[in-house]
């Protein structure tokens, strides 16, 4: 049985390579098997984040701030996306007040967005200007990358209109 499965898997791989078709993998990436090109994301930043399942509070906040259409736009954008656990660090009363204040919420959320696509290989320590207008401080060390006081816990979640880097803390503008 094992030999049959191996032969079947090999046959499928050969058929895909010969046909030159695109393969969509479980990681939401689309690979051009014929051209040998780098993976291309098929979903925009919002759909990619929602599909990940760990950004429900972020999606709720983006909806409340009216930023869904912007982040579904052509971009490219780099988003430092706080997880649900990151939002859970904010006291519930403070988080509810933030979600109810569209102007303050928009300021916080746009502070997590940089115009342009910055992949992990291109990250350098220093300041990077956000869509909100203020700058984030990026620090690098052998222990990892930080954005202000947030740790980057996953990099290069590619989307059709940019890239998401997952962070463990909501960063707040001045």
CA angle, 131 then 134 then 139, to 5° = 100
User: Any idea which architecture 43-167 has in CATH?
Assistant: Roll (2.30)
Residue 42 binned pLDDT confidence (cut-offs 50, 70, 90): confident
What pLDDT, in 10s, does the model give residues 92-129?
999 999 999 999 999 999 999 999 999 999 999 999 99
User: If you search the block for the tokens 């990940």, which residue do you land on?
Assistant: 52
Q: Does 22 score more than 80 pLDDT?
A: no
What pLDDT, in 10s, does the model give residues 1-20?
433 333 333 333 333 333 33
Q: What proportion of the chain, given as a percentage, has pLDDT over 90?
A: 75
Q: Where in the chain are the domains? A: 2-32, 43-167
CA angle, 12 then 14 then 15, to 5° = 65
Q: What is the pLDDT of residue 131?
A: 96
């Amino acid at each position: 049985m094992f030999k049959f499965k191996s032969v079947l898997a090999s046959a499928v791989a050969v058929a895909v390579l010969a046909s030159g078709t695109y393969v969509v993998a479980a990681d939401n990436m689309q690979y051009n098997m014929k051209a040998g090109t780098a993976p291309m994301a098929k979903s925009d930043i919002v759909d990619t984040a929602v599909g990940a399942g760990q950004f429900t509070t972020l999606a709720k906040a983006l909806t409340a701030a009216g930023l869904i259409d912007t982040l579904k736009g052509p971009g490219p954008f780099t988003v430092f996306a706080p997880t649900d656990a990151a939002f859970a660090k904010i006291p519930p009363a403070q988080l509810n007040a933030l979600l109810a204040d569209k102007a303050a919420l928009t300021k916080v959320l746009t502070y997590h967005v940089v115009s342009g696509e910055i992949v992990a290989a291109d990250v350098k320590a220093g300041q990077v200007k956000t869509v909100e207008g203020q700058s984030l401080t990026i620090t690098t060390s052998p222990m990892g990358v930080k954005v202000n006081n947030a740790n980057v816990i996953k990099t290069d979640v590619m989307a059709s209109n940019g890239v998401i880097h997952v962070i463990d803390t909501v960063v707040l503008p001045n």
